């Protein structure tokens, strides 16, 4: 990635290293943002959002930052089978965090694999309207609903644990249909 930065004349710290609990993309994105002259070289959304940098650069085969990670990942059915074998349930996380042109078509394509138990309906990237849409989708397709705040402490200071949006608590009642009764 540093070679890509050099080729694109994107400035980064000479002593940049990947250590600790952060991913390389987190460290690189934070570092290139230290240099205001880099802002003009990147799309506004990519400059402002680590998520956009990761999804539209690192995961985009047409981006010079692309890292082909597919060889390292399981397919949706393979991942779901492993989760179920371990006694878990497989859920699609944060649908609206994926940079796709049509979220409904993307969701339909994954649900058509018959590998999911449910969908994360409540999430800090979802609006109230999108949450309601996903809850309705789950009902229509006989899928469980779940929720997560995507809390990451200091990495996401505006996200509170247990809230999908500011002052919107993720209802515990959505867990009751699928969590074992000895956990609730």
Question: In order along the chain (184 residues), what is the average pLDDT of each group of 10 residues?
Answer: 88 82 82 94 92 86 84 88 95 89 94 96 91 97 92 78 83 88 67
Q: What is the pLDDT of residue 54?
A: 87
In degrees and rounded to multiples of 5, residue 118 shows phi and psi of: -170, -175
- Collapsing DSSP states into helix, strand and coil, what is residue 50? helix
Q: What is the pLDDT of residue 160?
A: 83
How far, in Å, CA of 67 to CA of 60, rounded? Answer: 8
3-state secondary structure 14-45: CCCCCCCCCCHHHHHHHHHCCCHHHHHHCCHH
**Closest of 8, 6, 12 to residue 29, by C-alpha:** 12
Q: Is pTM, for the whole model, over 0.85? A: no
Q: What is the pLDDT of residue 21?
A: 65
Q: Beta strands 168-169 and 163-165: pairing type? A: antiparallel
Q: What is the pLDDT of residue 16?
A: 82
Q: What is the pLDDT of residue 182?
A: 67
Q: DSSP per residue over 81-117, as a string?
A: HHHHHTT---EE--GGGS--S-HHHHHHHHHTTT--S
């Amino acid at each position: 990635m540093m070679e890509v930065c050099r080729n694109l004349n994107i400035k980064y710290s000479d002593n940049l290293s990947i250590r600790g609990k952060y991913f390389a993309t987190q460290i690189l994105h934070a570092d290139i943002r230290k240099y205001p002259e880099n802002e003009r070289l990147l799309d506004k959304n990519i400059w402002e959002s680590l998520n956009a940098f990761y999804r539209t650069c690192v995961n985009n085969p047409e981006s010079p930052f692309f890292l082909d990670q597919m060889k390292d990942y399981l397919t949706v059915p393979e991942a779901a089978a492993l989760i179920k074998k371990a006694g878990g349930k497989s859920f699609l996380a944060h649908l609206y965090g994926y940079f796709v042109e049509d979220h409904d078509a993307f969701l339909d394509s994954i649900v058509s694999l018959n590998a999911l138990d449910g969908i994360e309906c409540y999430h800090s990237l979802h609006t109230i309207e999108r949450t309601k849409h996903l809850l309705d989708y789950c009902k229509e397709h006989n899928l469980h609903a779940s929720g997560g705040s995507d809390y990451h402490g200091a990495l996401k200071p505006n996200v509170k644990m247990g809230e999908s949006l500011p002052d919107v608590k993720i209802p515990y009642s959505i867990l009751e249909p699928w969590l074992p009764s000895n956990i609730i």
